Structure 1
Amino acid sequence: MTPNIYSRREALRLGAIGAGAAALSAACAPGAGGSGKEVGIAIGNGISYAAFNVIRAKGWLEQELQGRTITWKIISGGGPTRDALLSGKLQIGSTGLGPLLIGWDAGVPWKIVSSLNDMPLWLVAKDPKFKTLRDFRQGDQIAAVQPGSIQSVMLQKAAQQQLGDPHALDKNIATMAHPEALEALLGGQIAAAYTSPPFQFQALEQGARKLVDSYDLFGTHGFNVMAATEEYAEKNQDVLAAVHKTIARANDFITKQPAEAAKILANAEKGKISAAQYEKYLTYKGIEFTTTPHGLLKIAAFMKQIGVIKKVPADWRDLAFDTVKNENGS
């Protein structure tokens, strides 16, 4: 087993607790790498998971994995997803690039099955006094899914550029799922929110402004990926292949038929957001639905530079299963 390179204090701060010896022990527990009939899949909130709305509506995974039962769970944040995978409670799960790299650096035996998309991520604020990061003071809460999330990494990059210290706003981060963060922002309970589409779009529609755009920090980059443990993958290559295949199929459907995909998303939300609005979100400039991981190495290099992780992959493929190794990632 790989020893945990984080101190407990660092692990707690970065949301990486459990990524060392305890988590690796859990990975060896009964069921963690099993080949049971049930395939539990963890996804999150937002249009980053649009592919899975399509996959579920069309029944594509059931068609590919006949004889298996597909179950779904909404989990907010890569840390809880990691723990569910390592315990064997779930088999495939979504994570942002930040938690993926923190876990990999700490020895978590997980890799990418497929990317889901490239998406710009925005820090948004509604109170007009917040125009740049220099306007934030101690106690001004900034919502993110968790410390160590890709949003918190983007905040650290922006803080490095604007304040000269990547950790200047680490203590301002308040852990919140994206829907709750949007509600808290609009209600004035927090100073700002670092969320994702469509929540960042909805914030602007209701009077907020964009303070940071992650594409300005790193260029085009991936957002969420689907991951599995190496132990599970070894025994369930058919599951990994089916997940990658159906994501690719769904991404193609969303790209070529965004109006139809938007109807599926609107139905899944029971009309809370109209199909027309979803189509606008799905086709926003800069969003690409792709299975190819992008930006892993440059984000990892920054995280190492500021001390969040201690090593960088020699190749992005070191973090990927064969399902995506032949794709043009970075």
Structure 2
Amino acid sequence: MKSTFSRIKLVLATLFVSQLALSAQAEVTSLRVARQYGIGYLQIMVMEHERLVEKHARAQGLGEVTVSWNTYADGAVANDGIISGNLDFVAGGLGSFVILWDRTRDSLGVKGVAALDSMPMLLNTRNPSVKSIKDLTDQDRIAIAGVKISSQAVTLQLASAQAFGDANWSKFDHLTVNMAHPTALQALLSSRSEITAHFASPPFQYDELKHAGVRTVLNSYDVWGGPQTFILAWTTSKFRDQNPKLYAAFLAALVEATDFINNNKSTAAAIYLEMTGENSTSVEGLARMLADPQLRFTLTPENVLKFASFRAGTGVVKTKPDSWKDLFFRDIHYLPGS
């Protein structure tokens, strides 16, 4: 694996020409970044905690840059912020991203900066009658953060198409309930809640499985045929063109945060628990979770093209990309994505 320094040099070299072209234009001095909940956003949290964007902005000659970090329960809200100009970078799932990429191709030109990680998403249930999704009935309610749109929602749709035929891809949409992951965890574990299942994400899915009667009936890696990008970061072509040095600083910070996590899992776990205030696990326990080989912090997009192609096949998006590179800015095209 290339060192952090080597990869940062590649990033800066790629952006050098655009920086020269726009060198006379003043760049913004504040940056607005959005994320959601869970360890899929750990790089963003490390970037905030260690002030990495500010560090790399100074290295780019931008002086002091103010960064605001925002947390949302729903990716749609963050996308509204990108469209309205109230956010500059969003970290989120493939579901929200692919829709925005498709809808802004002739306007804002939203594209991916890089992947953040590949992680399995688990559909957990407390209903003893449900052994697979084929056992779901109208009596079940599935908590999902971002119904019909999120990565979990789309994974359930593909699993439905695989189990019941392509025409039935939306078979279970009416069973889904929009709910942020922390709230969904509590609802699943409550006998008084209507929620009988939760299509979750780390660490919430693993916390659920610690409780008697909760088990997994679907793993996203099985549905997509292998590891898939869980979280990625995106911005607009306009922002990248007008702020090439700040864009480079963000990407360099993301590279450094990724290396930081991969080389310092215990410290990264401590940062996560400090910033979230979660007390369901210890630093040691979370560090062990981060060491799971299925949880990979990587800038390389994985199975993104398959995801976007499925969305195009259902008619949710109009454009079917020819390559994963159509979805991302050229700065990471050297990576072995898919």
TM-score (norm 2): 0.83
Deviation at 1:35, TM superposition (A): 4.3
In the superposition, relative to structure 1, how do residues 222 and 271 fare at CA in structure 2: closer, same or farther (>3 Å)?
closer
Cross-structure match for 2:258: 251
Instruction: List alignment gaps of at least 5 residues for structure 2.
Output: 1-25, 58-62
Alignment match of 1:47 (pick from 39, 42, 55): 39
Contact 1:119–1:288, Cα closer than 8 Å, also in 2: yes
Q: Give the secondary-structure state (helix, strand or coil) at the position aligned to 1:140.
A: coil
Amino acid at match of 1:194: F
Cross-structure match for 1:60: 52
Alignment match of 1:209 (pick from 207, 215, 238): 215
Alignment match of 2:333 (pick from 311, 320, 325): 325
**Residue-by-residue CA offset, 1:186-206 (whole Å, 9 max, x unaligned):** 114201111111011111112
Cross-structure match for 1:160: 161
The separation in 2 between residues aligned to 1:86 and 1:269, in whole angstroms, is 28
Aligned residues: CA RMSD:
1.7
Instruction: List alignment gaps of at least 5 residues for structure 1.
Output: 1-33
The separation in 1 between residues aligned to 2:35 and 2:161, in whole angstroms, is 31
Q: Give the secondary-structure state (helix, strand or coil) at the position aligned to 1:223.
A: strand
Q: Give the secondary-structure state (helix, strand or coil) at the position aligned to 1:160.
A: helix
Contact 1:241–1:323, Cα closer than 8 Å, also in 2: no
In the superposition, relative to structure 1, how do residues 271 and 43 fare at CA in structure 2: closer, same or farther (>3 Å)?
closer
Structure with the greater alpha carbon radius of gyration: 2
Q: Give the secondary-structure state (helix, strand or coil) at the position aligned to 1:205.
A: coil
The separation in 1 between residues aligned to 2:42 and 2:125, in whole angstroms, is 25
Q: Give the secondary-structure state (helix, strand or coil) at the position aligned to 1:277.
A: helix
Q: Give the secondary-structure state (helix, strand or coil) at the position aligned to 2:118.
A: coil
The separation in 2 between residues aligned to 1:151 and 1:35, in whole angstroms, is 37
**Residue-by-residue CA offset, 1:60-103 (whole Å, 9 max, x unaligned):** 11111232100100012332111101111111111211221122
Deviation at 1:161, TM superposition (A): 2.1
Cross-structure match for 1:4: none
Amino acid at match of 2:77: P
The separation in 2 between residues aligned to 1:238 and 1:114, in whole angstroms, is 16
Whether 2:68 is the aligned partner of 1:92: answer no
**Residue-by-residue CA offset, 1:260-288 (whole Å, 9 max, x unaligned):** 21122222234623101210221123111
Contact 1:35–1:232, Cα closer than 8 Å, also in 2: no
Q: Give the secondary-structure state (helix, strand or coil) at the position aligned to 2:297.
A: coil
Alignment match of 1:37 (pick from 23, 29, 36): 29
The separation in 1 between residues aligned to 2:278 and 2:236, in whole angstroms, is 36
The separation in 1 between residues aligned to 2:307 and 2:45, in whole angstroms, is 28
Whether 2:185 is the aligned partner of 1:182: answer yes
Alignment match of 2:101 (pick from 96, 101, 104): 104
Q: Give the secondary-structure state (helix, strand or coil) at the position aligned to 1:292.
A: coil
Contact 1:244–1:291, Cα closer than 8 Å, also in 2: no
**Residue-by-residue CA offset, 1:25-78 (whole Å, 9 max, x unaligned):** xxxxxxxxx943210100110000111222222221111123210010001233
Tell me whether 208-217 or 309-318 shows the greater mean CA deviation: 309-318
Cross-structure match for 2:308: 300
TM-score (norm 1): 0.85
Deviation at 1:305, TM superposition (A): 2.5
Deviation at 1:232, TM superposition (A): 1.2
Cross-structure match for 1:227: 234
Amino acid at match of 2:73: S
Deviation at 1:170, TM superposition (A): 1.0
The separation in 2 between residues aligned to 1:309 and 1:58, in whole angstroms, is 37
The structure, 1 or 2, with the larger RCO (C-alpha pairs under 8 Å, 6+ apart) is 2
Deviation at 1:167, TM superposition (A): 1.0
Contact 2:36–2:75, Cα closer than 8 Å, also in 1: no
